[in-house]
Amino acid sequence: MNSSIDFTHDPAARSWVESANAPDTDFPLQNLPLGRFRRRGDHHPAAWRIGIAIGDQVLDFRKVAEAKIDLGVPLGALERGVLNAFLATGPERRQQLRHAVFNALGEDSPLQGALQRCLVPQSAIELSLPCRIGDYTDFYTGIHHATAVGKLFRPDQPLLPNYKHVPIGYHGRASSIVVSGTEVTRPRGQLKGPQDELPRFAPCERLDHELELGAFIATGNELGAPLSMEQAEAALAGLVLLNDWSARDMQAWEYQPLGPFLAKNFATTISPWLVTMEALAPFRAPFERPAGDPQPLPYLDGEFNRGAGSIDIALEVFLSSAAMREQGLPALRISQSNFRDAYWTLAQMVAHHASNGCNLQPGDLLGTGTQSGPGPGQGGSMLELSQGGKVALTLPDGSERRFLQDGDELTLRARCERPGARRIGFGACAGIVLPAA
């Protein structure tokens, strides 16, 4: 199993990259997330390369290859700047790379001198999506979100009868997935309030975020060949943060009977660093259903899933207005929750997706759905925090928010921490809202 605990999870291990030993870094030696980057300003098509974040630096695999430094594992596809082919090699190769890089960046590594020249400061780079995303599917595993939103759309029946049996999901748009830092233009669309006789075409008036995680597929399956729960777990590469920007007014009018469409596909932002399943292993947690809830059907059940199917990931949402940034005010944390509260696990999402024979491919992305907690400050969207637009949040600049305004910057953050393990983080998933074109 690719998620077993090993020496790379030793909380006392330190790196010769000093910034990786700072207690508050997202990228200590125990994390080692993968990303695709180039030097800022280098617009040559071949400038993109794959690297691993360590403290405030990136280990550049192209430089490692060019310098002919032997890490003890073949770099193969990692040299070419496209992550998909490396992910497709599966969890063992990923684990080997993790072991090799952990040793090479560890504080007593004989490779320190050689590798020093293969580091690039993160301040000098720009990141792209970590890999080419073939298909993107968004799930709906946040039961507190499903209940809260359901109440607004269907007061008589907030949680539909299928919710506790089916890991509900739907297809999203791959082409409009952008990396953290990309500005997001407010969409135009058909709006029709309950009082309006006819729809009008206008800029969205209820722009929202959704706090999600995104899971990348490493190995996938052939068309017609479902995955067992064990295979589903092994098919996962790792996680990023995901903001499923949503136009609530467009959504309310368009979504029946085939689901959300233009309300969602104008942009989806993900964080650039793929935090691997190996890095997340110490934070696995039992998957538990509330007493009295139905147990998953056999194709969605498994021993590993019951014992360690969940992952303890603390999630946060920050908001800053343009005025706050001008006044030097820090972003306001507007929500916090935990991925442990998800009603379905990642492996259940994958196994369900492939259960009808649908083929998943290396680099496919699965969103988890909005991860809201049960409490009042735990809504993963403005829709929930403002109770459908009825209650305003007051920002430090004195302005009020029911939904996102132009100039607002929305930032998702995530971290894993528990006693006996080194804290790891995901970096930021951020985007500023631009006015409608």
Annotated binding-site ranges for substrate? 140, 154, 251, 255, 370
Least Cβ distance, residue 142 to a second copy (angstroms):
13
Which residue shows structure tokens 């409490």? 375
Reduce the DSSP state of residue 30 to 3 states and report it: coil
**Residues that are catalytic:** 145
Which residue shows structure tokens 């990923």? 94
Between 187 and 380, CB nearer to a second copy: 187
| 344 strand-pairing partners | none
Which residue shows structure tokens 């509260």? 341
Interface residues with a second copy (CB under 8 A) are 134-135, 137, 140, 150, 153-154, 160, 162, 165-166, 168-176, 178, 185, 187-190, 192, 198-201, 223-226, 247, 250, 253-262, 265-267, 294, 297-299, 352-353, 355-361, 364, 437
Between 171 and 333, CB nearer to a second copy: 171
Residue 37 one-letter amino acid: F
Reduce the DSSP state of residue 69 to 3 states and report it: coil
Buried b (16+ CB within 10 A) or exposed e, 378-401: bbbbbbbbbebbeeeeebeeeeeb
Buried b (16+ CB within 10 A) or exposed e, 49-68: bbbbbbbbbbbbbbbbbeee
DSSP letter (8 states) at residue 46: G
Least Cβ distance, residue 263 to a second copy (angstroms):
8
Least Cβ distance, residue 86 to a second copy (angstroms):
19
Least Cβ distance, residue 169 to a second copy (angstroms):
5
Between 120 and 159, CB nearer to a second copy: 159
Yes or no: say if 321 and 407 are a contact pair by the CB < 8 Å rule. yes
Between 235 and 331, CB nearer to a second copy: 235
- Candidates 83, 173, 151; CA nearest to 363 is 83
